[in-house]
Amino acid sequence: MKEEILRLLRSADGYISGQELCNRFGVSRTAVWKAINQLKEAGYEIEAQQNKGYRLMAAPDLMTEAEIKSLMHTDWVAKEVLYFDTIDSTNTKAQELLVEDGRILDVNCDVPAGECQVVDLHGKTVLPGFHDSHEHFLCYATDKEKINFFGIRSLEEMAERTRRYIADRGIKKGEWIQGGGWNENEFDVPVLPSRQDLDKFCPDNPAIFTRTCCSVAVANTAALKAAGIFDDIPTLQDGHIVVDENGVPTGMLHERARHLVYDILTKYTKEQLKQFILDYQKDLLSTGLTTVQTDDFKLWDATIDDILAAYEELDKYGGYYSLEYLPVLWRQTFA
């Protein structure tokens, strides 16, 4: 009863009379008074005033059993809470699970032999699927399609990864090349890459390599010229195109200046995006993530229309998971 009283006190705008609580639970004033005192002993600050009733003033910074139960608003899951102040291992309390269609239905249940398949986990721990409430999933997926510069220690290593990427992917002359994750502060000799460096790494392709902070990028000469910012350098309010002592771009692009190149990149198609979603959801599943909320509209190499269509078509025709659209975020539940 005290959990229900706590839930009512938490949701009330003001006081709740003792008589109202008596009527709701069909108990005496003494029973209500005892429940209120138990909550006070657990650390809840509850004000009591004659002719007004009870009002919750503050809750303890503890995840008590009453706190958990009062905050639960579910139709079927977690209706029964097993709460222990201390415990050596949950394995001493939960030895068996009844699972149906991916959902845990019961703990330590007594199911007649032959009515279900028994899987012996040999003492391993079972955890529910995790939920990540802040992701940029398609940004992650498309980054996996680009050159990975995380962990490199020199421009020579950047050059080698670029050459290998071009060879392994069969990149044709004139196709855009993207990479990301470099950090000059982690180089053995800290030095910023320049457009001349990228010209040597990929002389036949326009290229832009984004720094690990995602606020700075370096582009080669072909990319700067394709964007129209090599000979005619614009002045930006929210970005900066770095130039040398002669006023020639070094290739470094800060903040919004990066988007002068990003905006002209070849966009991924809807079908490519769908395949990325299907391929790289496996990475999430391998870590135990079964649900994510993701904002993918920051993606610069795909259109918003194609991003929406990719998710909507996969949801409609199957092949991955259930999808719920939130005002800004996509919520994806992986199968």
The pLDDT tens digits of the residues spanning 20-43 come to 889 888 899 898 889 889 889 888
Lowest mean pLDDT among 7-16, 62-71, 154-163, 181-190: 62-71
Q: Considering only 126-135, 150-159, 270-279, which range has the smallest mean pLDDT?
A: 126-135
The model's pTM is 0.65
pLDDT digits (tens, 9 = 90+) for 255-303: 999 999 999 999 999 999 999 988 888 888 888 888 888 888 888 889 9
Q: Which residue intervals of 53-154 are DSSP H helices?
A: 65-71, 137-143
Q: How many CB atoms lie within 10 A of CB 124?
A: 7
Predicted pLDDT at 201: 97
pLDDT of 92 strictly over 90: no
**Residue 85 above 80 pLDDT?**
no
Q: How far apart are CA 165 and CA 159, in angstroms?
A: 10
Residue 66: which residues within 8 A CB-CB, separation 6 or more? 2, 3, 6, 39, 42
- Answer yes or no: is pLDDT of 188 > 90: yes
Could you give the CA distance from residue 87 to residue 200 in angstroms, rounded to a whole number? 62
Query: Is residue 149 classed exposed, middle or buried when 0-12, 13-18 and 19+ CB atoms within 10 A define those classes?
Result: buried
Structure-token match 């996996």, residue found: 144
pLDDT at residue 168 in the model: 96
- Strand order of the β-sheet with 207-211 is 147-148, 177-182, 207-211, 216-219, 249-255, 239-243
Interior angle at CA 281, CA 302 and CA 96, nearest 5: 155
Burial of 141 (0-12, 13-18, 19+ CB in 10 A): buried
CB 42 within 8 A of CB 3: no
